[in-house]
Every structure is written in structure tokens, then in C-alpha cells.
Amino acid sequence: EGQLVESGGGLVQPGGSLRLSCEASAFTFISYWMHWVRQAPGKGLVWVSRIKYDGTTTTYADSVKGRFTISRDNANNMVYLQMNSLTADDTAVYYCAREVGADIPAGAFDIWGQGSPVTVSS
Amino acid sequence: QSALTQPASVSGSPGQSISISCTGTSSDIGAYNYVSWYQQHPGKAPQLIIFDVRNRPSGVSRRFSGSKSGNAASLTISGLLAEDEADYYCSSYTTINTLVFGGGTKLTVL
């Protein structure tokens, strides 16, 4: 079925940086687009970023463009989200998710991690 | 990219059918048949229940169905069960190669 486990979240000061990790298991990781989605406390889901199965293509939401970087290590079944210049608006639970479609990353996420909470506060 | 528009809440009694609307624009819902729906119970990760407008992943009940007309999509849940009480989110691919979610709808089973 497949599993995703996030790690790396925590408390960080405004302007600081944090790197989230997501480890995949029980599926052929190299075959799938991977995404990050976040959810602020009591709020809805917001798409953040995605990366193509071979790592050659990345896309970002406008709200994080230039500050966040998504990457992956297919040898170790890992996807990362490097977050810089963090603000209070970035406070959220961050989920990594697997895209169903291989050709067009149309936003159908069939496997989600448990979420990694990030709090930006002084 | 603005969020898709969903009603904040809907309710229904056990056994009834309800629909949740999701309104977008010609730059997202209206442009492609790439609408997905997610169910999220409190404190849990979302679960995919509909993708590509009307397709159900393996294991998802046939009580869940999706449709689209123009710039709007809908999720219908028939034969409401108490366990259906949750938050529901729609999402769509966009013409600028991003993804956008709706604001979410809280379903209450009376």
C-alpha cells in the first residue's frame, strides 16, 4: 500500500530555517511525483510544492516561491522541503503526499504522511 | 491563485444524501477534468475519495460520487452514515501548472 513518514518539524524563530524530511516505504518511490501540502491550525489545506519522479521538475505556490526548496533522493526514498525566511504565516502541519498520476501531477494524492508540525514564533 | 469556493458547512440525517459544491474558474476547474475530493477526520491526514472528477480509488465506498459542470464540481454522499462526519476538501489542477484547494466544508450528520 505504501507509507510516508515526515520528520524535522518543530519551533523556529521568524526569519529562521527548517528542513522537513519525508521517508517513503513499500512502494516504488522513483515512479511517483511527490508533493508537500500544509494546513495552518484550524484552517484548510494549501498546496505548497511538488517534484517530478526524477527530480528534474519542481513547482511552488506563490506564497513560498523563492523561500522553499523541494528536493528528493531516490536512492534513499526521501523527499525534502527546505524552508528559509520563515514567518508566522508558515506555521502549519506539513504533509508529504504521493501523486496518483504518473504523467500529469493533477493533484490526486493517494498516500499521505502523518504530518509534521512547524511553529514559527519568537 | 485564489482558493476554490466551498460552503463552510452542510448537514444531513443518516440515510439521506447531501452534496457539496466546489466553485472555481475557467483557469482551474473549468480547464481540466482534474478535480479531486478529500475527506479529513479531526487530527488525521486527509484521505482521497474522488479523483479526476468522478473516479473512486480502490476501497472507497460507492456512496461517494463526483461530478463537474463548467467551472463547478460537486461531491455527493448518499446513504449518510455517522462516520461520514468530517471535513471535505476539493482540489483542482490549474492552467498555471499549480494546484489549488477549496476552503473546506464541515459535514455534520444530525
Q: Please say if the pLDDT value at position A6 is more than 80.
A: yes
* Whole-number percent of chain B with pLDDT over 70: 99
Q: Name chain B contacts of A112, Cβ cutoff 8 Å.
A: 45-47
Instruction: Give the residue from B1, B20, B56, B99 with the most A CB atoms within 10 Å of its CB, the best one to mutate.
Output: B99
> Per the CB < 8 Å rule, is A115 touching B45?
yes
> Per the CB < 8 Å rule, is A100 touching B57?
yes
Render pLDDT for B52-102 as a digit per residue (tens, 0 to 9): 999 999 999 999 999 999 999 999 999 999 999 999 999 999 999 999 999
From A112, which residue of chain B is nearest by alpha-carbon distance? B45
The confidence score (pLDDT) of residue A121 equals 96
Q: pLDDT class for A3, splitting at 50, 70, 90? A: very high
The reply to whether B95 touches chain A by the CB within 8 Å rule is no
- In angstroms, the separation between the Cα of residue B91 and the nearest Cα of chain A is 7
Q: Long-range contacts made by residues A39-45, C-beta under 8 angstroms, separation at least 24? A: A39/A92, A39/A93, A39/A95, A39/A115, A40/A89, A40/A91, A40/A92, A41/A91, A41/A92, A43/A92, A44/B3, A44/B89, A44/B101, A44/B102, A44/B103, A44/B104, A45/B38, A45/B40, A45/B46, A45/B89, A45/B91, A45/B101, A45/B104
Q: Please say if the pLDDT value at position A36 is more than 90.
A: yes
From B49, which residue of chain A is nearest by alpha-carbon distance? A110
The reply to whether B93 touches chain A by the CB within 8 Å rule is yes
Average pLDDT, chain A: 96
Q: pLDDT class for A105, splitting at 50, 70, 90? A: confident
